[in-house]
Structure 1
């Protein structure tokens, strides 16, 4: 299974590289309406001129979650001593040994990286199929409306040779739905927020975890607003990207990681506390013998809990009164007293 996971991870990396940096999958050439105001916004410049350039975006969506997860796991080991007494776990035959902390970190961060590449693949596939234009598409396309015969705003142009601008910029302007930066930002923020919510335990204040979660979600929201404000994406592109990234993060955390194993960790804590003697059995409440008339004859009635009257009745059922003696005719001249009941013949 380890080798299969490595092959699957390598496949996602290669596929995301082809979607991002090559022309292996051609983008659908979608038409446009003449004088469409929603596609005539001014060109904001390349991605490097944005207020959130790629050199800031990609470290933000990778370094911040990694640091948060590392700090959370190390603090969990330092606070919870049950992790120190666990044995080594064999991961691949007899050659690879991982302690529980390293195995858990590799599992969480490895799945986080897998989800990042899956988000790139899913967003790139939808962009390739739809070919929706960015708000500044017509500013880059520079169509000749006179040569195209545009006479009204309702006239649709479907010719692939209608644009006269830079082909590379036009190609990038056709990949707006869904917004890939918004999808990556939402995935990273939701994944990290779910980790903080499900794994970290903060005592003494109820506002620490909500404040930390809002701080992790705020960059993603700010990124979405900037994409719309700079005319790089429509609001629907940003919304679709946010839903895509959040859905992938929720699926991986709930269905693959099983909520980071928080339920099993709580059970392990409970077992550890029971072993250490922290959780003690409740002492039974003594009951005087006068209150239990049915067990007056027992000598250990003062150690029977008060919360089990039904069990007491089951253990010591009340004695039923003896039935009256009946006369059973054995012989015509002799009557023998008996405790059974019979009908006369």
Structure 2
């Protein structure tokens, strides 16, 4: 309107939508499995899993580095690039085996922390219910207006988004909404992948070639059993377990390949040559003129004389 106050136009299209709707379908059999009890009552309790993923790889790396220090490999198998000893003050001396041990264990601890953060963040963001969600939620279907399944309606008929729909314990309901990805599966996969790559890349076994593959398969069995237990006890779906396995294995692969460089030693300068720098160090070929320099008496001035590199023919007396 002319002469009046201009009308303000509001647009909500630029506001990002990060609101995740938490709800469930009435009478959904996927989430109506019986409640298996607290996590401590599981056949694979979290305390046991945390102890195994902490102690198992630590002991393996410790034994591997001690064997490498006291039983060194032959000179042909030792990498060309080695590490130097660091002396800090008059009392502290960090030998190459100690530096390798601290580096590998430090990276492994960082990976455990990262895997836990990724799994917890994924569970909070997705809010995917566990198979026993409705057993701990205990919704009042009559008050919510949900109709029971019938031959005409074999599946769920309504999606409930009411925040007060659950009459169960709030702590159990909150825990039952954190299923994807499975944190226990992610930690087991990370520990197994890191340890298996360490065994494959560092251990040197004479004789049969099946020793290291058999050891790696033996390490994979406990992680697989943890996933089976989580699904059998109705604590997670198969999709949650597979997502946890992929998360842990991806983090372990990244740290081994990009951070510790396949468990190889660092150069003394603390910097590894890039492939372009390595290609740049090509062998040099000496010039024939440099090998056979011309005597000083044969070199003349530029003006009125032939080129210094031009050789005159010798005169023959007749």
Provide the TM-score with structure 1 as the length reference. Answer: 0.65
Q: Distance in 2 between matches of 1:50 and 1:192?
A: 25
Tell me what 2:113 maps to.
117
- Aligned-pair CA distance for 1:193: 0.3
Map residues 133-152 of structure 1 onto 2, 5 A cutoff.
Answer: 133-151=129-147
Aligned residue pair count: 236
Q: Distance in 2 between matches of 1:76 and 1:205?
A: 20
In the alignment, does 2:160 pair up with 1:157? yes
CA contact (8 A) 1:132 1:177 kept: yes
Q: Distance in 2 between matches of 1:154 and 1:130?
A: 23
Map residues 86-97 of structure 1 onto 2, 5 A cutoff.
Answer: 87-90=84-87, 96-97=92-93
- Aligned-pair CA distance for 1:207: 1.5
CA contact (8 A) 2:146 2:157 kept: no
In the alignment, does 2:71 pair up with 1:79? yes
1:204/1:262 CA distance change after superposition, 3 Å: farther
Tell me what 2:56 maps to.
64
- Aligned-pair CA distance for 1:262: 7.0
Tell me, what secondary structure is at the counterpart of 1:97?
A: strand
Tell me what 1:180 maps to.
183
1:86/1:207 CA distance change after superposition, 3 Å: same
- Aligned-pair CA distance for 1:97: 3.2
Q: Distance in 1 between matches of 2:240 and 2:101?
A: 34
- Aligned-pair CA distance for 1:188: 0.3
- Aligned-pair CA distance for 1:110: 0.5
Q: Distance in 2 between matches of 1:254 and 1:87?
A: 22
Map residues 153-302 of structure 1 onto 2, 5 A cutoff.
Answer: 153-261=156-264
Which of 29, 41, 46 is the aligned partner of 1:37?
Answer: 29
Q: Distance in 1 between matches of 2:256 and 2:169?
A: 42
Could you say which structure has the higher helix fraction? 1
1:124/1:86 CA distance change after superposition, 3 Å: closer
- Aligned-pair CA distance for 1:88: 1.9
Tell me, what secondary structure is at the counterpart of 1:244?
A: helix
- Aligned-pair CA distance for 1:233: 0.1
- Aligned-pair CA distance for 1:55: 2.2
Q: Distance in 2 between matches of 1:78 and 1:95?
A: 23
Larger-Rg structure: 1
Tell me, what secondary structure is at the counterpart of 1:119?
A: helix
Provide the TM-score with structure 2 as the length reference. Answer: 0.70
In the alignment, does 2:108 pair up with 1:108? no
* Residues 35-72 of structure 1: CA deviation (Å, up to 9, x unaligned): 00000000000011000112211111110111111111
* Residues 222-276 of structure 1: CA deviation (Å, up to 9, x unaligned): 1011100110000000000000000000000001110111798xxxxxxxxxxxx
* Residues 190-212 of structure 1: CA deviation (Å, up to 9, x unaligned): 00000000110101111211111
Q: Distance in 2 between matches of 1:227 and 1:106?
A: 34
- Aligned-pair CA distance for 1:87: 5.0
Tell me what 1:290 maps to.
none
CA contact (8 A) 1:198 1:262 kept: no
Tell me, what secondary structure is at the counterpart of 1:57?
A: helix
1:93/1:157 CA distance change after superposition, 3 Å: farther
For structure 2, the 5+ residue unaligned runs are: 1-18, 150-155, 268-318
Tell me, what secondary structure is at the counterpart of 2:264?
A: helix
* Residues 4-54 of structure 1: CA deviation (Å, up to 9, x unaligned): xxxxxxxxxxxxxxxxxxxxxxx9661000000000000000011000112
CA contact (8 A) 2:83 2:266 kept: no
Q: Aligned-pair RMSD on alpha carbons? A: 2.3
